[in-house]
Chains A and B, each alone.
Chain A
Amino acid sequence: MSEPLVRTRDLTKVFYEESRGEVRAVDGVDLICNGGEILGLLGANGAGKTTTLRMLSTILRPTSGEAWIVGHEVRNAPEQVRENLGFYSASTALYPKITARETLRFFCRVNRYPRGKVEDRVEELIESFGIRDFADSRVEKLSSGMKQKVSIARTVAHDPPVLIFDEPTVALDVLNAIELRRIIERLRDRGKAILFSTHIMSEAEQLCDRIAIIHHGRILAVGTLQELRDTTGHHYLEEIFVHFARTREPSEAQGEAERPGETGP
């Protein structure tokens, strides 16, 4: 079996706050995600989803543990990690004063897409994401739906094998959220490894091939929806989540980290 595109081992992040002292935001997370797979990171607000994904995208430096993206370790080779990664979140915006075409060109170039192929790639993105009609309009003039298309196109501009979507549908209306999920599925079908964080149960149910339930910075369970159902005896993901959150407090869950179908790889 080939090496997973995303792999973490005992990934931990501790923040220091003046008022609370040390805060363990992510605590010993073990995950893998293969090409052609959507791994959902499901947890409540403050569970550690964003911190985990920010460590994978090298925005944050892990306090301990390791993480690899396409074989590059996040602390030792951050530039190579980012070269193989596209990061999208509700809080990642576009530059308002440049056009959609300039945006795509910029992200191709800055992410070291082969120089001679940039223009072809930009045209390809414009075509495949349906941007042609507003490709030469400044981003500030675009509607939120148009901006979303450009934003996803810039995420995949350099054609990275790994994509991270951090709560991407938070600020979207229903139609745009559906459109986004379709695009993510298409990207999965093209062989991308996709990490998708959400706190919306139905979204995780519909979209994710496997789901990792994260609570208080720890992974409580990982598996396909069917595996999680079989383990808990519950049908709906909401019930499954509550089951793990109540019965598997971090201290006990961590001891069972190696149980197949429930936690880490």
Chain B
Amino acid sequence: MDPGQIWTLYRHEIRSALRERSIVIASILVPLIMYPTLLWVGFSAVSFLQGQAEAVTTRVGVAPVPELHQPLVDSLAADRRIQVVPWEGPDGAAATEIARGRMEAWMELTPPDQAGAAMEGNAQVRVLFTGVREGSRSALDRIEALTDEHRNRWIAEWRSELGVADAVWGDYAVVMEDQATSEDITRFILALLVPLLTLIMVALAAFYPAIDATAGERERNTWETLMTVSAPRSAIATAKYLYVATFGAVGGLLNLAALAISLRWILAGAGNGMGEELVQGGIPFSAIPVIVAGTALLGLFVAAGMLVFAVFARNFKEGQSMITPFYVVILLPALFLQSPNLEFTTGLAAVPVVNVALLLRGAILGDIPFLAGLITLISMAVSVVAAVALAQFVMRREEVLLGTGTGGFWGFITRTLRGRRTEA
């Protein structure tokens, strides 16, 4: 094969594709603008809803309480989002008020159970609410939080009266220390997200170019024109393959870049602290070369697989229906990766696609077993070479050249295995 011819064919494919609106949108613009747009829209919506929720006053009915516990009612009334309404009546009537939306919750203090009765003035808080309304749920949350504060104050007073020192009381406290830093948490989230998103975006970015490089040629009637140039079929197949792989890999990398940018500028500015926490972690610099290499490997693999299926298509519709099952199949492993307990074993490192996804996850978490990484490289290289060889073999067949074969890739395999030919 003459590299000069492959380069000429490759440049020709890329140039044509960059002038094709559908390819530019699906393979470049969508990966670039999807996250910024989704995150911006998502956070705008969340902020809007939060603002709406804060502006709404929740009516909470309160049955008469003993003087001892009046501070609980006072603290509820002091919350500007809650309007305390004195309400006395049977349970059924309160439930009806809540169901009709005239009240979001109703609270009463009832006598404690047997053990609690030993404590003078003790009571338990009973709350009626409905789980189907946001307002009612948030009223419950506020009542719970304020009741906890009230309980702690009351117990502290009791301790004081009983002469139990703070130091003694502290011995009974449960002290929890989370060993994960905010960076660790961010990386954990990214390690789950990045492999899945990369895989989706590489496959999406390669999808249209794969159809364009095969069925598109037939639909435009340029296939026969191309078959009469002096370049060998293998050079044509290689150039087409590199074109699809380039779009797949570039789409995947653009997608990751857009994700990083979105986290930094959109989430960080969200103002609720969550964005800042995420930005503090992020992807370690040491992982970037692995992620770039992994994305390129995915692009090479996905492109080869898609070309093998798409080369039988006679038009865009056929191309879409032939590639879609492959698209779904390669996304399946990523769903299993959502289990954080899945380990990057040498066995899994031999499984194409799964291994790259685990490699990306390992790179982000800073843990790549050397042997598994090596097996991943070998496994993907073998898979890519095999898929490209298959694509080249298929593209030399007359039924593919002429578009006369039926049944797509599986029809071709069946005929080949049965020894049937389209030429004698």
A interface with B by C-beta (< 8 Å): 13-18, 22, 57-61, 63, 78-80, 82-83, 85-87, 89, 91-98, 102, 106-107, 109-112, 115, 138, 154, 158
Q: A109 to chain B: closest CB distance in Å?
A: 4
User: Can you report 9 residue pairs joining A to B where beta carbons are below 8 Å apart?
Assistant: A16-B423, A17-B422, A59-B227, A79-B230, A92-B221, A92-B222, A102-B15, A109-B8, A112-B230
Residues of B in contact (CB 8 Å), total 29
Min CB gap A141→B, angstroms:
12
Residues in chain A near residue B423, CB distance under 8 A:
13-16, 60-61, 63
The 5 closest A-B pairs by CB, nearest first: A93-B221, A14-B424, A87-B228, A83-B230, A97-B19
Tell me which of B224, B231, B420 contacts A110 (CB under 8 A): B231
CA–CA, A59 to B225, complex, Å?
Answer: 10
Q: Is the interface of A mostly helix, strand, loop or mixed?
A: mixed
A259→B8 CA distance, assembly (Å):
48
A158, B5: Cα distance in complex, Å:
14
The residue from B5, B9, B225, B422 contacting A112, defined by CB atoms under 8 A apart: B5
Q: Does B152 count as interface, using CB distance less than 8 angstroms?
A: no
Which interface residue of A58, A83, A106, A138 has the most chain B CB atoms within 10 A? A106
Task: Report the bound CA distance from A63 to B2 in whole Å.
Answer: 28
Partner of B225, one of A83, A93, A96: A93
Given A15-B424, A16-B421: A60 and B15 interface contact (C-beta under 8 Å): no
Apart from A97-B20, A98-B15, A112-B5, what 9 extra A-B contacts exist at CB < 8 Å?
A: A15-B423, A18-B420, A59-B402, A94-B222, A97-B19, A102-B15, A109-B5, A110-B230, A112-B230
Nearest B residue (CB) for A90: B221
Determine whether B88 belongs to the interface, using a CB cutoff of 8 Å to chain A.
no
Tell me how far the C-beta of A61 lies from the nearest C-beta in chain B, rounded to whole angstroms: 7
Complex Cα gap A93–B216 (Å): 12
Q: CB < 8 Å: which of B222, B232, B420 contacts A16?
A: B420
Whether B220 contacts A95 by the Cβ 8 Å rule is: yes
Residues of A with C-beta under 8 A to B20: 97
CA distance A91 to B424 in the complex (A): 25
Partner of A93, one of B9, B16, B220, B420: B220
Assembled-state Cα–Cα distance A60/B423 (Å) = 10
Q: How far is the CA of A80 from the CA of B220 in the complex (A)?
A: 26
**B residues in contact with A92, CB < 8 Å:** 221-222, 224-225, 228
Residues of A within 8 A of B4 (CB): 109, 115
| Contact call B19/A98, Cβ cutoff below 8 A | yes
Which residues of A are found within 8 Å of B227, using beta-carbon distances? 59
B93 contacts A by Cβ under 8 Å: no
- Quick check: A107 and B424 within 8 Å, CB to CB? no
